[in-house]
Amino acid sequence: MANGRSSKSSSKPYVFCGRLCQPRRRSGFTETSYDLIFPVKIDILTLFPDICRVPLGESIMKRAQENRLIDLRIHNLRDWTTDKHHIVDDAPFGGGQGMVMKPEPIFAAVEQLCDAKEKTANTQQSKIGNGESKVIVMSPAGRRFDQQMATELSHESHLVIVCGHYEGVDHRVIQHLVDLEISIGDYVLTNGAIAAVILVDAIVRLLPGVLGHEQSAVDDSFNHGLLEAPQYTRPAEFRGWKVPKVLLSGNHAEIAKWREEQALKRTHENRPDLV
* Catalytic machinery residues: 140, 167, 205, 220
Return the ∠ at Cα 92 (arms to 86 and 96), rounded to 5°: 130
The sheet carrying 70-76 orders its strands as 70-76, 40-46, 158-163, 133-144, 180-183
Alpha-carbon gap, residue 158 to 203, rounded angstroms = 12
- Helices H, strands E: what count in the chain? 9, 12
Query: How many angstroms separate the CA atoms of 113 and 161, rounded?
Result: 11
- DSSP states of 223-268 as a string? TTSSPPPP---S-SEETTEEPPGGGGS--HHHHHHHHHHHHHHHHH
* 247-266 as b/e: b if 16+ CB within 10 A: beeeeeeebeebbeebbeeb
